[in-house]
A = this chain, B = another copy of it.
Amino acid sequence: MEKYVKEMKAKPIDIEADKLVAIINTVDAKEFGLLPLDRIELSCPRTKRKVVCVVDTTTTMVREGTVGMFLDVQKRLKIKSGEKIRVHPVPPPESVHFIKKKLDGHPLNEDEIIAIVQDLHENKLSEIEAAGFVSAVYIHGFTLEETVAMTKALTGGGKRLQFKKKPILDKHCIGGTNGRATMIVVPIIAAAGYYIPKTSSRSITSSAGTADSMEVLANVSLSSKQIVNITEKTGGVIAWGGALDLAPVDDKIIKIEHPFALDPPGQIIASVMAKKASANAKYVVIDMPIGPDVKIQSIERAESMAKKFIAVGKELGMKVEAVLTDGTEPSGRAFGPALEAKLVLEILEGKVFDNLAQKSCELAGVLFEMLGEAKKGRGTGLAKEILASGKALEKMKQIIKAQGAKISESEGVEEAPLKKVIKATQTGEISKINVRQCALVARTAGAPSDKKAGVLLHIEEGDEVKKGQVLFEIHAENKRKMSLAVAFAKKGGIVDLEKVILKKFV
């Protein structure tokens, strides 16, 4: 069919927008026979550049005969204000048909999934189209084949880390609470002579992410090249994944899932496995905490996901094992980046051996058994030996130094300038510690932005406490946030916390 081409004028709008949108007047839209979310191709005769945009229509923002375009489109066309451009309608990308196919309940093949991920990567799909895809996947689920294809597609969109020596080990936790097992597992594994380049996230809604906590000790904004170099030098690295370009489409999908907290298992698995594949990992242990306040709330769901993780790993040539852990109680007594980092060092120094240390050794043990480094049932023991020998501490010091240390060895982790202790108002037994409430108090006190802010528990579940005994400390960097955290405690938060902690009275 003969193309209907119109000459129009460019109207640059100096706003950054992560999508390729062209804004035209409704009069022009009608002449083209276009509705919002249809596509037009803009081409600049001078620069010879072309770009396909999603149409948005307006009655006021741009006049007839002009095309409004945000920075991203301007840059692609290398256009000047008022310059002439040629405009003609084009069909939507094929991926839109594949999304419709998924909405209709039909499984997608690998090429179709790659097309969708590719177009998400290049910002060719509108948010409405992307949301249609995410909703369809949530409702209809992914088959194993689709999950494998999605993992491959997500990996394909980004960089891959390349190491001289093999194998690469990795560890991942699905929706945990506090406690930085990664910062204990990595030095144990590296101390045994293996490579474990770990990329982690910052916290969004918890009191600290591994990247936040590691950042207290060392620089975590590392390039891919730095990660490879440090790994090849020390065996381990603990970096922030956000600065890299590993499986970048995953973040776009997560953004769309967020409003409804959609987390279709197939998508979670593809998301995790893509990041592992991007790091070229061959042996992966997955920590799956189960509990009412964490992502996975039943053993059935955890077991079903674990099976899929293993199956997807097999398809991708990766050996995966999943460990179901207790997500109902705190993982260590610290909440907040610096407090959690400090606890990690105390564990590595052999000063503390708590449930966090135990879990970390179990996770490292699983990797040792997968590798054949330890016999079945002996992995945890080996990890404990390495921990007790001080080799893991030495390794952690090497890693901190290689990443660029932020603390001096003599001074250790600095404490917060403000501390407040909260005491039991009654004698009783600690029946339950509400992990979510602990994290909320820590956040109110400033964590994770204020690195030293947080909560330090003085008790464990099952402890008997006397009236006046210290239950926990709140740490903060400034008075306003400390008073907010204390107020939160006094006006409900703390009372709630205390009530929960002291539910079973003697």
- Identify which of residues 276-325 in chain A touch chain B, using a CB-to-CB cut-off of 8 Å: none
Q: Is the CB of B16 within 8 A of A60?
A: yes
Using CB atoms, name the residue of chain B closest to A54.
B259
Task: Judge whether A75 is part of the interface by a CB distance below 8 angstroms.
Answer: no
Q: A255 within 8 Å of B by Cβ?
A: yes
A438 CB to nearest B CB, Å: 14
Q: Is A382 at the interface (CB under 8 A from chain B)?
A: no
Give A251 Cβ to nearest chain B Cβ, in Å: 10
State whether B33 touches A443 (Cβ < 8 A): yes
Sort chain A's interface into a size bin: 35 or more
CB distance from A89 to the nearest CB of B (A): 11
Check A96/B140 contact, CB under 8 A, given A103-B135, A440-B1, A491-B2.
no
A424 close to B (CB within 8 Å): no
Among listed A76-84, A126-134, A357-365, interface-contacting one: A126-134
Which among A132, A202, A449 has the highest number of chain B CB atoms within 10 Å?
A132
Q: CB < 8 Å: which of B37, B103, B493 contacts A255?
A: B37
- Give the contacts of A69-105 with B (CB-CB under 8 A): 92, 96, 99-100, 103, 105
Task: Report the minimum CB–CB distance from A498 to chain B (whole Å).
Answer: 15
Q: Which of B15, B30, B36, B258 contacts A36 (CB 8 A)?
A: B258
Instruction: Give the docked Cα–Cα distance between A274 and B138 (Å).
Output: 30
Give the chain B neighbours of A15 by CB distance below 8 A: 13, 15, 61
The answer for the CA separation of A1 and B437 in the assembled complex, in Å, is 11
Q: Does A444 contact B (CB under 8 A)?
A: yes
Q: Which residues of B contact A100 (CB under 8 A)?
A: 260-262
If A491-B2, A492-B1, A493-B1 touch, whether A99 touches B260 (CB-CB below 8 Å) is yes
Determine whether A229 belongs to the interface, using a CB cutoff of 8 Å to chain B.
Answer: no
- Residues B258 and A132 in contact, CB atoms below 8 Å apart: no
Known contacts A259-B96, A259-B126, A260-B99; decide if A58 and B16 are in contact (CB<8 Å): yes
Q: Is there an interface contact between B449 and A31, defined as CB atoms closer than 8 Å?
A: yes
| Alpha-carbon separation in the docked complex, A128 to B133 (Å) | 11
Residues of B within 8 A of A259 (CB): 37, 92, 96, 126, 128-129, 132
Assuming A33-B205, A100-B261, A127-B128, what are 8 further A-B pairs, CB within 8 angstroms? A16-B61, A33-B443, A37-B255, A37-B258, A37-B259, A92-B259, A131-B135, A132-B135
